[in-house]
Amino acid sequence: MTHSVSSLADYDSELASIARMLTHIRDSARALDAQALEYCVDLALQAVANEIRDRRDTVTGADLDFAPRVLQ
C-alpha cells in the first residue's frame, strides 16, 4: 500500500493535533483534581506519544514528557 506525501503529512498533523488536545484535557483534569479522568487521558496521551516516537517524528508545542499519576 502506498501513501502520498500529503496523506502522510496529514497523518502527522492529526497526531500532533490529538496530542495537543489530550494535553489540554489532561491539564484541565489536573486543575479540577479529577484523578480518574487524568489517569485515563494520560494513558491515551501515552499511546499517541508512542505512535509519534515510533514514526520518529517530533511534535512541537505538545508536552509529551509526562509521568502518569497513580490513582489513590
pLDDT in tens, 27-51: 999 999 999 999 999 999 999 989 8
- Is residue 45 within 8 A of residue 21, CB to CB? The reply is no
Tell me: pLDDT of 26 over 80: yes
Tell me the C-alpha distance between 7 and 61, whole Å. 22
**Phi-psi domain of 49 (left: phi exceeds 0; alpha: psi -120 through 50; beta: other):** alpha
pTM attached to this predicted model: 0.66
